[in-house]
Structure 1
Amino acid sequence: MKIKDISTVTVDNFRTNWVFVIVTLENGIKGYGESTLIGTETAVAPIIGLWAEQLIGQSVLDVTAIQARLQRESYWLTGPVMSAALSALDIALWDAKARALDLPLYALLGGQVRRRVPVYANGWYIGAKTPAEFGEKAKAIIDRGFQALKWDPFGAAYQAMGRAEINRAMDYVAAVRKAIGSDIDMMIEGHGRFNVNTAIEIGRVLEEFKISWFEEPIPPGRPFEMAEVRRAVNVPIAAGERCYSRFDIAALLQAKAVDVLQPDIIHIGGFSEMVLINGLVDSFSLPMVPHNPNGPICHAASMHMAMAWGSMGSLEIMVTDVPWRRQIADEACTFRDGCLEIEERPGLGLTLDLDAAAKYPYQHHALRHFSGKLTNIRPPDAQAWYSVA
């Protein structure tokens, strides 16, 4: 079960780029990993290339030790670029290990606690501009069987919003709540936009809409300021997608800054780090709902965690993606009654068609979050990447 080769391929997906890692063992078994880093993906693959040569000949059974050694010997330990690279490599090593053992990956995480995973919809709003259009699209996605949805109604706002701007944003929230009714979970995304005072003001206005959480109301890396927001509002606070190790998660927990933890396996350090985080979050009796608007490997990895760990709540998914996602990955994923399930296969349960992937090389994409173009994160021909039962 020794490592023979490690390679990468970067694939455009309209919103950003997927950086895929392929670990090949001496017996020909392949494991797949993924990461991304919005706008700076070109920094990720070279780090993996630096590590690859020193890992040849090592046993894939020692994946956790490999991850710890790479962190130690990097000196910097963590950070967005390094953790993105480490995540992709670690996921690929775990996948290869599970395939070598002829086991589904969830078996290495403790075994299956559920087969079907509840999911909530993101990306359902593509192309919507007015409150009425948001309401129509929200109603349409609920009619398809989703029981929860999330979006960012704040346009190009950053740091502060005037009263008129807040009122306009709430018009969108009100339209969606009216369209979907009171029984559907609704989450509001902040993308780390606001200063503390504005976040508190918006959080208080959101209380009347009975939202399930207000996500990243202030920029990441400020757990005590986040805790100040949480104490001042009567809506749950969610954060964690821009955490890069278990220590960042621990800081949020120690500061009592959040009600819902959202680590992203392709940014936090892969399965090796997520195993430690799962126990940490569970010890605080808080739900973990991973950030998951990414590609096929990230989704499969998140599904296996959700199947293995009872502490995980629902799972985020983008309801459509680029049409070539189906060409690249055989995800064997089915949506039914608000849940997703995947076929029982070794490892993550999917393979990548690298010839198909090569047809969609890297393309630079500017960040849309603060330009007012966030609803344009999918191409006109975007389609569901899963089957519907």
Structure 2
Amino acid sequence: MKLQDLDIIVTAPPAPGWGGRYWILVKVTTDDGIVGWGECYASSVGPGAMRGVIEDVFERHMAGENPENIEMMYRRAYSSGFTQRPDLTVMGAFSGLEIACWDILGKARGRPVHALLGGRMNDRIRAYTYLYPLPHHDLGAFWTSPEMAADSALDCVNRGFTAVKFDPAGPYTLRGGHMPGMRDISQSVAFCKAIREAVGDRADLLFGTHGQFTTAGAIRLGQAIAPYSPLWYEEPIPPDAVGEMAKVASAVGIPIATGERLATKAEFAPILRNGAASILQPALGRAGGIWEMKKVAAIAEVYNAQLAPHLYAGPIEWAANIQLAASIPNILMCETIETPFHDHLIKGTIRVENGFITPSDAPGLGIDVDEDLARAHPFTGDGLHLQMQEDPCDYVNGNAFEGGAPAQKT
């Protein structure tokens, strides 16, 4: 069995567009006709350029290879061009293709991917969700309304979720770490207070920031929200300043989570070694793929740390997250996004029931991809999957964070 053909589909989720502006799906076919699906997570170049990178990685390092030889293909991609260091774009391309290889291997053997990774460790995976507007909420007002956030959180808890994530501390700016404005701190506290009062002890609060703050600013904000006992404080400073993140971790008393922008064990290991975070959030379509993150999970065990795979993408990466989660002892939870498009794209083959996911025993990733639906929604825009704003923090009027891909209004 050898890898033979590659097809790339860039599909755009319809409004409101949760999961990013587009998802890059890869379809890999072997010489004996087995099809594997993967997903390349958000890249720093547009989908046209990324298509070329994916094709190059496949042709250069994978075409004609036995899909079993994942370690060899990984080392080729990781070493390409005399690098042997994480290249976010190359790793994003390889990761989606690597996921497709596991899908192929599972289908060839009639076994789920987790059975090939050491077997089933977890019969249920705890799920969490970001707080999204409910149908009666105003899309513009939602992001600065503690009351609407509490309303959404209560809805999630009533559907069985035991953890909810929100990030009211804006802005999400390319200028790097900044000192939060007092309005942003007050708004963050108000969100935590309202959500905690709404859900009580039925759910954990997951506080996101997207690497927005200076070390001092992150400590200041973290200490302000600490009385509401968040389960985690996500990426409080830019992800490359490992020593500074460790200072935040030691000062705020809230578990630090990070990882959606990291790739390979080379970037995750220093986080653990320096005590910068105790919860790792790899995005499997970027971080190096399933096998590389299985290694990271093993490293995390040594440091008594847990994994909570990140998802702001489509359901193929979600399926990969679940297969990894089923096989490791130190899984905390998995992010999930429930929209009709996510569901229809994999024909309802993954379900969140009462806040938990039961890993499928179906071969491969355990999903059935609706290829026609993916092709029927091509991406035609010019933005990136996620983008940062250029404007600095507004210390006068406050800030309204709507994420790196604001909701589509139509």
Amino acid in the other structure paired with 1:47: V
Judge conservation of contact 2:169–2:401 (CA < 8 Å) in 1: no
> What SS does the aligned partner of 1:238 have?
strand
What is the Cα deviation at residue 149 of structure 1? Answer: 0.5
Unmatched segments (≥5 aa) in structure 2: 390-398
Aligned residue runs from structure 1 range 258-297, under 5 A:
258-297=277-316
1:45 is matched with 51
2:254 is matched with 235
Alignment counterpart, residue 154 of structure 1, candidates 140, 162, 169? 169
1:79 is matched with 87
> What SS does the aligned partner of 2:36 have?
strand
CA deviations on 1:315-356 (whole Å, 9 max, x unpaired) are 1112x33x4333432241222222012432100011323222
Judge conservation of contact 1:124–1:141 (CA < 8 Å) in 2: no
Aligned residue runs from structure 1 range 56-205, under 5 A:
56-77=63-84, 78-125=86-133, 127=139, 128=142, 129-156=144-171, 159-205=178-224
- TM-score under structure 2 normalisation? 0.87
Larger mean CA deviation between 155-164 and 45-54 belongs to 155-164
**Identity %, equivalent residues:** 28
What is the Cα deviation at residue 6 of structure 1? Answer: 1.7
Judge conservation of contact 1:5–1:52 (CA < 8 Å) in 2: no
Amino acid in the other structure paired with 2:105: K
Matched pairs, number: 379
Amino acid in the other structure paired with 1:144: R
Q: Distance in 2 between matches of 1:368 and 1:134?
A: 23
2:402 is matched with 374
CA deviations on 1:356-376 (whole Å, 9 max, x unpaired) are 211111233464665735278
What is the Cα deviation at residue 293 of structure 1? Answer: 2.7
Q: Distance in 2 between matches of 1:216 and 1:178?
A: 25
What is the Cα deviation at residue 145 of structure 1? Answer: 1.2
Larger mean CA deviation between 161-170 and 182-191 belongs to 161-170
Amino acid in the other structure paired with 1:12: A
Q: Distance in 2 between matches of 1:221 and 1:75?
A: 22
> What SS does the aligned partner of 1:60 have?
coil
1:7 is matched with 7
What is the Cα deviation at residue 196 of structure 1? Answer: 0.7
**How has the CA–CA distance of structure 1 residues 369 and 208 changed in structure 2, closer, same or farther, with 3 Å as cutoff?**
farther
What is the Cα deviation at residue 118 of structure 1? Answer: 0.8
Q: Distance in 2 between matches of 1:222 and 1:192?
A: 10
Q: Distance in 2 between matches of 1:80 and 1:144?
A: 36
CA deviations on 1:166-189 (whole Å, 9 max, x unpaired) are 112211221111111134210100
**How has the CA–CA distance of structure 1 residues 163 and 56 changed in structure 2, closer, same or farther, with 3 Å as cutoff?**
closer
CA deviations on 1:3-57 (whole Å, 9 max, x unpaired) are 1212211111232211111110111110111012266342322112113334332
Matched, 1:332 2:339: no
CA deviations on 1:270-325 (whole Å, 9 max, x unpaired) are 0121121111111111111111232111111111111111111111112x33x433
1:20 is matched with 25
Q: Distance in 2 between matches of 1:74 and 1:351?
A: 36
**How has the CA–CA distance of structure 1 residues 115 and 331 changed in structure 2, closer, same or farther, with 3 Å as cutoff?**
farther
2:382 is matched with 364
> What SS does the aligned partner of 1:265 have?
coil
**How has the CA–CA distance of structure 1 residues 308 and 10 changed in structure 2, closer, same or farther, with 3 Å as cutoff?**
same
**How has the CA–CA distance of structure 1 residues 32 and 287 changed in structure 2, closer, same or farther, with 3 Å as cutoff?**
same
**How has the CA–CA distance of structure 1 residues 324 and 334 changed in structure 2, closer, same or farther, with 3 Å as cutoff?**
closer
- TM-score under structure 1 normalisation? 0.91
Judge conservation of contact 2:242–2:274 (CA < 8 Å) in 1: yes
Q: CA RMSD in A?
A: 2.1
Amino acid in the other structure paired with 2:4: K
